[in-house]
Amino acid sequence: MLHIMIVGCGNIAHLIFKKSKNIAIDAVFDINEQRAKEFSKLTGAKICKSIEDLLKQDCTLVVEAASPHAVVEIGEKVLKARKDLMIMSVGGLADKDFYEEMLSLASKLEQKIYIPSGAIGGLDALSAASIGKIESILIETTKPASSLPVEVKEKKKIFEGTPDDAIKQFPKNINVAVTLSLIGRSKNVIVKIVADPNAHRNKHNITIRGDVGTITMCFDNVPSENEATSLLAGYSAVALLERLSSPLQF
């Protein structure tokens, strides 16, 4: 049985509780106290009044399921408390200086930072390809317009640029671009975001070019209860946690 603590008691936290088989949620923290209370009643997890209170607990794995801002706020605190950290809001690592500081600190303290695959897959192939040269990574994401902070009457490209700029404008919608950038170890990542008022799913078309050739991937994802988040993203958190508790690693 793997014991965890969760920061953020929203959609991802509920999926972890409902779908995991070998995971116990010991404690939770959420800036929304009512949401924390409701989740605690459901799971039996202890409610912590602050991140400092959470980090005093014995459990050694913290799951961030709140926001990119939360990653920046709690990241170093978690590692300094000698606890491992699983990050769902990968956009919090978009700032390269912060990312390098987190890696350096984790290495120094011999702690682990875990990043689930999120709303996409094929990251094992990308990681292998990055041993050689990655020339470019292109991700085109199409989402229901209602899940984006825009108003459009027809299908329209609303953004094209870097993952850093994308996450600043759409912090809750484009974590996958940052994941691709980090695992692909590439600065040549282009993000396109398309808003479609007639779409009911989150679609990601990815093209990776490099020494190994061309890798193309397409994901047509059913949204979770939170329309901005694919159900696959929540399931990827459960899958990673289950792997950590399993004697079989792949």
Cα angle for residues 78, 2, 221 (degrees, 5° grid): 85
Nearest-angstrom CA–CA distance, 17 and 156? 37
Residues 6+ apart with CB under 8 A from 122: 206, 215, 217
Q: Torsion over CA of 246, 174, 8 and 33, rounded to 10 degrees?
A: -170
Residue 56 tokens read as: 């005093």
* Whole-number Å distance between alpha carbons of 90 and 71: 8
Six-digit token string for 100: 């390098």
How many residues appear in the chain?
250
By the 8 A CB rule, do 202 and 149 touch? no
204 is annotated as an active-site residue: yes
| Catalytic residue (one of 3, 14, 69, 204) | 204
> CA dihedral in degrees (245, 71, 134, 233; nearest 10)?
50
Phi-psi region of 242 (alpha: psi -120 to 50; beta: other; left: phi over 0): alpha
8 Å CB contact between 193 and 158: yes
What is the set of active-site residues?
204
